[in-house]
């Protein structure tokens, strides 16, 4: 069982109201949260645009075909690209809808095998190299033996993987050494696959934002979450078989830490994203999945966050909380090097700072 802590000396909320994003097979646990705040900030956003409710972005499938051959060309082995989808097309998760096939080719389903049963989806993940997946540290709580895990890549429907899917056993699981189950500090981990995957239209790595770059997200920037998690918090919520997607707004720390929100829980290693009015959020089963943002300068997507925790799902004033990936770029890169892969290239050319802080001002 995953044991997450969120609670409250800082929030005027009962412990029973606070939850962490957990897999389907576990309940959301309630425990007290300790925290620390950071005063300095050099990681800045301007307000991102949010599309409310269930508005759909009318994806345009683009094959960029080599018509003389009657088939699309092989995708370039770069990061953050979607060979089958045009630009930022796309938005259940909570308040979203079915993704187009191939819309998020770096999305990974991390599954566990139970004795006498089939594999079951537990958490999401994001492909960052041909044999490494980034996910949340709390997904591994009580489940750190790689023998019981597998990764499914390139799939759209968890019940029908299809010919484009790849299944890989897990060679090793690396959880951040300073991961704290009580505060969700450093809630990040890497799963190293037993064998490399071959990139295709349906399997692509995400780009990692450099820890030395100032990632500017403007009003027109599109940010998205995706996963196979529940589509509602309460009752017998449906768990979709098809990958869900939603467009989200990056919420400033000042709003996320208000007394009527998380009340100071959110520090500079975390990012809040969703909708201030609620209704758009990640939920149970989405833990470890990606928060990605599109950069029009190089027409690529970058991994900004890893789904970590939240108070309920889709509640007003309580957006989802995500691990700030730029803050952990150095750790991720070092683990990829130890694993024999340097990871994908970073091609954003932006303002350079000495450090990255995920405190968001608007």
Catalytic residues: 138, 187, 287
Within a 10 A sphere around the Cβ of 283, how many other Cβ atoms? 28
Separation of alpha carbons 257 and 75, rounded Å: 42
Sign for the pseudo-dihedral over CA of 111, 18, 187, 80: positive
Residue 321 · residue 184 · CB < 8 Å: yes
In angstroms, what CA-CA distances link 255 with 45, 51, 81, 175? 13, 18, 32, 30
3-state secondary structure at position 307: strand
Give the span between the Cα atoms of 280 and 215, in whole angstroms: 23
DSSP-assigned beta bridge partners for residue 169: 150
In angstroms, rounded to a whole number, what is the distance separating the alpha carbons of residues 85 and 189?
29
User: What is d(CA 191, CA 82) in angstroms, rounded to the nearest whole number?
Assistant: 23
The beta strands (E) that lie in 100-148 are given as 107-113, 119-129, 132-135
Separation of first and last alpha carbons in the chain: 38
């Amino acid at each position: 069982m995953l044991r997450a802590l969120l609670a409250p000396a800082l929030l005027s909320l009962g412990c029973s109201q606070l939850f962490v994003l957990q897999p389907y097979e576990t309940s959301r646990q309630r425990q007290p949260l300790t925290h620390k705040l950071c005063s300095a900030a050099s990681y800045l956003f301007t307000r991102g645009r949010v599309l409310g409710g269930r508005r759909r972005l009318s994806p345009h499938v683009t094959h960029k075909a080599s018509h003389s051959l009657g088939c699309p060309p092989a995708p370039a082995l770069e990061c953050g690209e979607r060979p089958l989808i045009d630009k930022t097309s796309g938005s259940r998760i909570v308040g979203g809808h079915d993704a187009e096939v191939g819309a998020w080719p770096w999305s990974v389903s991390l599954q566990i095998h139970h004795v006498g049963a089939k594999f079951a989806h537990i958490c999401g993940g994001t492909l960052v190299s041909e044999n490494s997946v980034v996910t949340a540290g709390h997904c591994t709580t009580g489940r750190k033996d790689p023998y019981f895990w597998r990764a499914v890549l390139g799939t759209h429907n968890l019940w029908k993987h299809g010919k484009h899917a790849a299944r890989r056993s897990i060679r090793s699981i690396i959880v951040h050494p300073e991961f704290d189950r009580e505060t969700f500090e450093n809630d990040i981990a890497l799963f190293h696959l037993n064998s490399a995957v071959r990139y295709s239209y349906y399997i692509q790595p995400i780009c990692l934002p450099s820890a030395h770059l100032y990632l500017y997200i403007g009003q027109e920037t599109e940010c998205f979450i995706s996963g196979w998690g529940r589509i509602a918090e309460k009752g017998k919520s449906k768990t979709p078989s098809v990958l869900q997607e939603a467009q989200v707004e990056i919420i400033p720390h000042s709003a996320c830490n208000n007394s009527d929100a998380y009340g100071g829980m959110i520090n500079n290693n975390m990012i809040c994203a969703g909708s201030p009015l609620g209704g758009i959020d990640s939920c149970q089963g989405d833990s470890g999945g990606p928060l990605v943002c599109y950069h029009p300068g190089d027409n690529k997507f970058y991994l900004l966050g890893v789904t970590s925790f939240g108070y309920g799902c889709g509640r007003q004033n309580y957006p989802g909380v995500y691990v700030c990936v730029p803050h952990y770029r150095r750790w991720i890169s070092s683990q990829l090097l130890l694993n024999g892969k340097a990871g994908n290239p970073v091609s954003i050319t932006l303002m350079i700072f000495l450090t990255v802080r995920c405190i968001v001002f608007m």
